[in-house]
Amino acid sequence: MACEIQDIRRALAEVAAQPGSGLFGWTLTTETAVSHQALMIGGEGNVLTVFQTRQVTDDRATLRVFTRQGAPVRQGVAVVTLDPMADLTAQIAAACAAARGVDNPPWELPAAPPAGYPDVATADPAIAADPGAEHARLIACARREAARLGVAQINSAEAYVSFRRQRLESSSGISTGRALSEVYFELAAERLPGPNVQEVSPLVEATNVDGLDLSTFFARVAEQAGALTGAELPPTSRQATIVIGPEAITALLYELRGQLQADAEYERGPHLLPGDSVADGPLATAGEALTLALDPFLPAMAESTPYTGEGLPAERSLVIEDGVVRRQLVNARMGQYLGRPANGICGNMLVAPGRGDRADWFATLPDVLEIRTFSSLLINPRTLTWSSEIKLGRRHRAGQPPVTIKGGVVSGSLRQNLRDCAFSNRRIVRNDLPDGWKPARGYDGPDAMLIRSGIQVAGA
Amino acid sequence: MQDTRLPARFPERLRELRALLPQLVAILEQGRGDEWYAFAWLEETVTLSAVCGRNEGVQQDTDRGVVLRIFARGIQYESACNRLDESALIEMARALRARVEADDATGMPLPVYRPRSWAEEYADPLPPELRSQLPAGPPAVEQPVHLGVRCTVDPWITTADGLRTLAAATRQRVLAANGAFLRRENAARPEAEAYPALAEVRVLARQTVHTHVFVDRTRNLSQVLPVTLLYALGIMPGGQTGRTLAGGLGGLEIAVLPDDSLAQSAEMPARLSRAERLAPGAYRLITGPDVTGVIAHEAFGHTQEGDTCMCGRSVAPGLRARRVRVGNDQASIVNNPAVFSMDHLFHGPNGSYFFDHEGCFARSQTILDRGWLSAPMTNLTAALALGEPRTANGKRESWRRPLMVRQTNTYFTPGDATLEELIARVPSGFLAHWAHGGMEDPKGGSLTAGTEYLEEIRDGRLTGRLFVGPTGGHVELSDPVFSLLARIEGKTGSRHPRGIPENKYGGCGKYHKESVNAGCGGPWILWSSVTCG
């Protein structure tokens, strides 16, 4: 039992014909998904034993109805996840009734693009063909790698593969679709010999099994687990120098990019416009300026897409160049509200590499904290301030062996950080899949960022 | 006084589907009941919400799915879907059974599971609210038994438009309160120092009604759990925010924000825009129920989750085995899914239920008793693997996601002081009222919990000075759990007859994902020292 598109269209026509429905337009997103998941426990010799295994099939239809009412004209919007067990016409009529009470300035829905949509590889053909087989292959690969992981004991692991097929249709003539594949592997491990009281728990996400690059992932697990020795608190500092990795860079730049969206300007909160500097003060002499492009066309990445959420054709663009904003991300609705042309700029974040070298920083700077993992990096999307406990890191002092650090709190202000930072010259590609806690994020850029401004540490 | 509130009704539309579930269970385990154990889980989540602000909208989500499980050879095999017609479900049950029969894998070395009978459940004391809704004597296996949260306003009659009206009216109240604040505060200030008006006020009114049906060879249970929230956020042009909320387990009767609570959205953002910055360091601190609860949840909540223990990912089993004390006399933490009233409130927090997602009845459990660790919280797998009692902590984000051991409502037990007495005991320190996230480290035994800002205490009095984090954001609190729990100096009391303190509306993401409802709370607690940055 699922909602069929032709039935939904018929019900929409019935509601539109009802006097006073106010139905002005609609968009419909349908999705069919299949997923396979296994939870595993690690045993002797890092044998991975499945203790929970799941298969899920999921059909969804989400309808967005727009109504116009009143004088001057106002536009309402209601989103309804259609219930296949209930009458479709009644659901849509109820959604329109709720939308008629909603008070927004009117805007026109985007029309279908005359030239159609770009062709973008968003799903892995092997997963599309047989997600269950790819899930089994993922577990087999993980078991092979685990058996070779001599220096660490695996405590638990999780393997997930999904395939989703989506359609987007609208009353303004948009009719398009895409397929998405998602894979993740998560593992918790501790250093051998055990038992001990620290573990690493990295997660790797991609759009296909090979994209996880499990060999590199397990090598990182081994290296990080091996570093779990004799941790100290970092020293308290009002002006610390830190190095962060690609996960934190991805998260920070994603929030910065949020301030390039026209929605931020419309909502009167902090926002950045073309010509603005992303740093909140002059750049330090030795600092490197940020250059960021968004690219939705890269194959097999988390933010690759042929179209935006509204159905505009996706567009690639340089958005920040040498620390200065070049383009604002303007969707169709905000474009009409703010009197600007809309664009479909979106996609994976491409950051220009820097001149720096991680090993060089650690060897030459007098005192630097390398933050390998934050316990919970919370970034305020409005103030762009951030703070977290250090889950695992290393303190490097010139001429001394590095020391493992753990605990304490490091806090920063991103726009202040961008006054004096540097990027590594080594490139990394990574993906964050969307879930209840984070959006989809694709990143292709430097594997490390040195920050010398706007960092404070509470520790020993 | 007699409670006249009525338990939330079971929705008629699910009766036919419910009637099919015993047949599905029979398909799953017929002839294999000596080796296998099977159940069926039906879940419906109906969410109505309205957001009012410069950008408005309403939403109605109906999400419904069925999970079928066979536990065989130490593996929990599950299939789940939302194609809920009879033929599709029967086919899914047959396919799952065939999959289990064809699989030659062996999981963990766990014993065969025999579920408790109704008679055994009745012999083990149940929480008063749960017991009051059960039949007087043990029901028959096939008899449907329904449990519902008592509400004054029937949650099934809530409409999206009604929520929009509530959100719009609340937004106007916050804007009016902000106007009054600006007139009052700016009257005596030079123009250059005047507070600007809020840039935006966003209000969310939301009601989610969870309906669960659990069927196995021993029982046929249902529960309806309405969760209601009214949330107002004030935002300054510079991005500083202040929030206030009312919410928990119940109908619209609990979505009430008194005028004095609106100041947090109407005035606090402006005050925070002028707040001082904290020097990173360790301070004497009083935490309110919101922050106290996060500490309880992160400190020994996650550490006492049975699956975490089972996988060797928690420090707790070793400490318990070695009889290591991890806190002082005041360090007592409870996990209690059966909180249907608390402190002075007639409703429970959003982490409550009558039974968990594996059909285990809710019972309170002390997970840390005056610094001594007790048995962990469990689900079916963890209980069998660890040889510990079953507790009602088997939960999943939704039918789409796996079941894990999850906390329900986690709180510190109350003490006997008043908040004024605690403040008077602080020569120099801070008060932390509003939580801002938190994260567990069950293996490493450290703790991090955030707070929006700190209020200064000097010489036993609140000074009115506010502090944000060292770089202008929220304040993060972090310390090793054991040393922190040894530094509790005092706790406030509770007005609840069974000593249940206030638990706040909250959520939890285990290992950064798998979002579930989780209340957390406790009294105001005075800590002798907490690292803040």
Instruction: Please report residues of B whose CB lies closer than 8 A to that of A52.
Output: 75-76, 78, 381, 402-403
Among B84, B199, B478, beta carbon nearest to A389: B478
Specify the DSSP class assigned to residue B297: I
pLDDT in tens, A25-49: 999 999 999 999 999 999 999 999 9
How is residue B110 written in tokens? 């766990």
Closest CA to A251 of A380, A427, A395: A380
pLDDT in tens, B108-153: 999 999 999 999 999 999 999 999 999 999 999 999 999 999 999 9
Give the whole-number percent of chain B exceeding pLDDT 90.
90
Instruction: Please report residues of B whose CB lies closer than 8 A to that of A97.
Output: 161
Q: Which amino acid is at B504?
A: K
Per-residue pLDDT averaged across B13-20, rounded? 97
**Dist CA B270 CA B200 (whole Å):** 12
- Backbone φ/ψ region at A213: left (φ over 0), alpha (ψ -120 to 50), beta: left
**Dist CA B28 CA B36 (whole Å):** 9
| Residue contact B437–A86, C-beta within 8 A | no
DSSP states of B8-24:
PPPPGGGHHHHHHHHHH
| Residue contact B57–A385, C-beta within 8 A | no
Which of B274, B471, B516, B532 to mutate against chain A (most A CBs within 10 Å)?
Answer: B471
How is residue A458 written in tokens? 């509470």
User: pLDDT confidence of B300, banded at 50, 70, 90?
Assistant: confident
Residues B224 and B10: beta-carbon distance below 8 Å: yes
Which of A34, A92, A102, A414 to mutate against chain B (most B CBs within 10 Å)?
Answer: A102
**Dist CA A240 CA A164 (whole Å):** 45
User: pLDDT confidence of B178, banded at 50, 70, 90?
Assistant: very high
Shortest Cα distance, chain A CAs vs residue B193, angstroms: 20
pLDDT on residue B440: 80
How is residue A128 written in tokens? 């599309």
Helix axes A88-99, B160-186, angle to 10 degrees: 20
A245: Cα within 13 Å, side-chain hemisphere: 15
DSSP states of A309-363:
TTSPBPB-EEEEETTEE---B--HHHHHHHT-----B--EEEE---SB-HHHHHH
| Residue contact B55–A201, C-beta within 8 A | no
Shortest Cα distance, chain B CAs vs residue A236, angstroms: 7
Which of A3, A56, A385 to mutate against chain B (most B CBs within 10 Å)?
Answer: A56
Q: Which amino acid is at A152?
A: A
| Residues B460, B464, B470: CA angle, nearest 5 degrees | 100
Instruction: Please report residues of B whose CB lies closer than 8 A to that of A96.
Output: none
Among A1, A77, A412, beta carbon nearest to B83: A1
**3-class DSSP assignment, residue B223:** strand
Virtual CA dihedral for B285, B291, B295, B301, nearest 10 degrees? 160
DSSP states of B306-369:
HHHHHTT--SHHHHHHTT---S-TT--EEE-S--SSBTTBSSB-TT--SB-TTSPBP--EEEEE
Helix (H) or strand (E) holding B424: helix B419-424
Helix axes A88-99, A5-17, angle to 10 degrees: 50
pLDDT on residue B388: 97
Shortest Cα distance, chain B CAs vs residue A382, angstroms: 5
Closest CA to B458 of B417, B423, B419, B420: B423
From first to last of its 460 residues, chain A has per-residue pLDDT tens of: 678 889 999 999 999 999 999 999 999 999 999 999 999 999 999 999 999 999 999 999 999 999 999 999 999 999 999 999 999 999 999 999 999 999 999 999 999 999 999 999 999 999 999 999 999 999 999 999 999 998 899 999 999 999 999 999 999 999 999 999 999 999 999 998 876 788 899 999 999 999 999 999 999 999 888 888 778 899 999 999 999 999 999 999 999 999 999 999 999 999 999 999 999 999 999 899 999 999 999 998 999 999 999 999 999 999 999 999 999 999 999 999 999 999 999 999 999 999 999 999 999 999 999 999 998 899 999 999 999 999 889 999 988 899 989 889 999 999 999 999 999 999 999 999 998 788 999 999 999 999 999 999 999 8
**Dist CA A289 CA A420 (whole Å):** 8
Beta-ladder partners of A456: A411
Specify the DSSP class assigned to residue B298: I
**Dist CA B221 CA B25 (whole Å):** 14
Own/partner pairs, B495-501, CB within 8 angstroms, 24+ separation: B495/B343, B495/B344, B496/B341, B496/B342, B496/B343, B496/B344, B499/B413, B499/B414, B500/B336, B500/B339, B500/B341, B500/B342, B500/B343, B500/B411, B501/B289, B501/B342, B501/B343, B501/B411, B501/B412, B501/B413, B501/B414
Which of B164, B273, B311, B530 to mutate against chain A (most A CBs within 10 Å)?
Answer: B311
pLDDT on residue A4: 87
pLDDT on residue A2: 76
Among B75, B78, B237, beta carbon nearest to A268: B237
Shortest Cα distance, chain B CAs vs residue A251, angstroms: 14
Instruction: Please report residues of A whose CB lies closer than 8 A to that of B450.
Output: 378, 387
| Residue contact B280–A35, C-beta within 8 A | no
**Dist CA B286 CA A420 (whole Å):** 37
pLDDT on residue A398: 85
CB neighbours (10 Å) of residue A129? 10
| Residue contact B437–A378, C-beta within 8 A | yes
Closest CA to A427 of A346, A316, A352: A352
Instruction: Please report residues of A whose CB lies closer than 8 A to that of B107.
Output: 49-51
Among B59, B472, B509, beta carbon nearest to A79: B59
Shortest Cα distance, chain A CAs vs residue B460, angstroms: 25
Domain boundaries, chain B: 1-266, 277-532
pLDDT on residue B393: 98
Domain boundaries, chain A: 125-226, 242-458
CB neighbours (10 Å) of residue B325? 15
Closest CA to A296 of A331, A348, A260, A350: A348
Among B237, B313, B471, beta carbon nearest to A412: B471
Which of B85, B314, B443 to mutate against chain A (most A CBs within 10 Å)?
Answer: B443
CB neighbours (10 Å) of residue B72? 24
Instruction: Please report residues of B whose CB lies closer than 8 A to that of A50.
Output: 75, 105, 107
> What are the residues whose beta carbons fall under 8 Å from the beta carbon of B460, sequence distance 6 or more?
B423, B424, B425, B426, B427
- Write down the CATH superfamily of domain B1-266: PmbA/TldD superfamily (3.30.2290.10)
Helices and strands (H, E) in chain B, number of each type: 13, 29
| Residue contact A37–B402, C-beta within 8 A | yes
Among B76, B85, B513, beta carbon nearest to A1: B85
How is residue B438 written in tokens? 């938190």
Q: Which residue of B has its CA nearest to A383?
A: B239
Residues A60 and A83: beta-carbon distance below 8 Å: no
User: pLDDT confidence of B1, banded at 50, 70, 90?
Assistant: low
pLDDT on residue A1: 62
Pairing of strands B276-277, B461-468: parallel
Closest CA to B63 of A98, A32, A60: A60
| Residue contact A454–B471, C-beta within 8 A | yes
- Phi, psi torsion values for B142, nearest 5 degrees: -85, -5
Alpha-carbon distances, residue B29 vs A78, A318, B90, B99, B104 (angstroms):
44, 59, 13, 13, 17
Instruction: Please report residues of B whose CB lies closer than 8 A to that of A436.
Output: 397, 509, 513, 515
**Dist CA B73 CA B107 (whole Å):** 6
Helix axes A131-147, A214-226, angle to 10 degrees: 40
Residues B346 and B496: beta-carbon distance below 8 Å: no
How is residue A62 written in tokens? 């989400």
Specify the DSSP class assigned to residue B259: G
Per-residue pLDDT averaged across B488-516, rounded? 90
| Residue contact A57–B443, C-beta within 8 A | no
| Residue contact B443–A198, C-beta within 8 A | yes
Among A57, A236, A389, beta carbon nearest to B446: A389
Instruction: Please report residues of B whose CB lies closer than 8 A to that of A60.
Output: 82
Instruction: Please report residues of B whose CB lies closer than 8 A to that of A55.
Output: 78-80
**Dist CA A203 CA B307 (whole Å):** 19
Helix axes B86-102, B15-29, angle to 10 degrees: 20
Q: Which residue of B has its CA nearest to A43?
A: B311
Does pLDDT of B419 surpass 90? yes
Burial class (CB in 10 A: 0-12, 13-18, 19+), A400: exposed
pLDDT in tens, A399-422: 889 998 988 999 999 999 999 999
Does pLDDT of B205 surpass 80? yes
Q: How many Å is the maximal CA-CA distance in chain B? A: 84
Q: Number of residue pairs across A and B with CB atoms under 8 Å?
A: 285
Q: Which residue of B has its CA nearest to A380?
A: B473
Among A50, A86, A267, beta carbon nearest to B55: A267
| Residue contact B56–A85, C-beta within 8 A | no
Q: Which residue has the tokens 């002059």?
A: A282
Sign of the C-alpha dihedral computed for residues B104, B106, B112 and B118 taken in this order: negative
Q: A72: cis peptide before it, omega within 30°?
A: yes
**Dist CA A102 CA B332 (whole Å):** 48
Alpha-carbon distances, residue A213 vs A104, A218, A219, A438 (angstroms):
47, 9, 10, 22
Helix (H) or strand (E) holding B147: strand B144-148
**Dist CA B50 CA A41 (whole Å):** 42
Among B75, B439, B531, beta carbon nearest to A375: B439
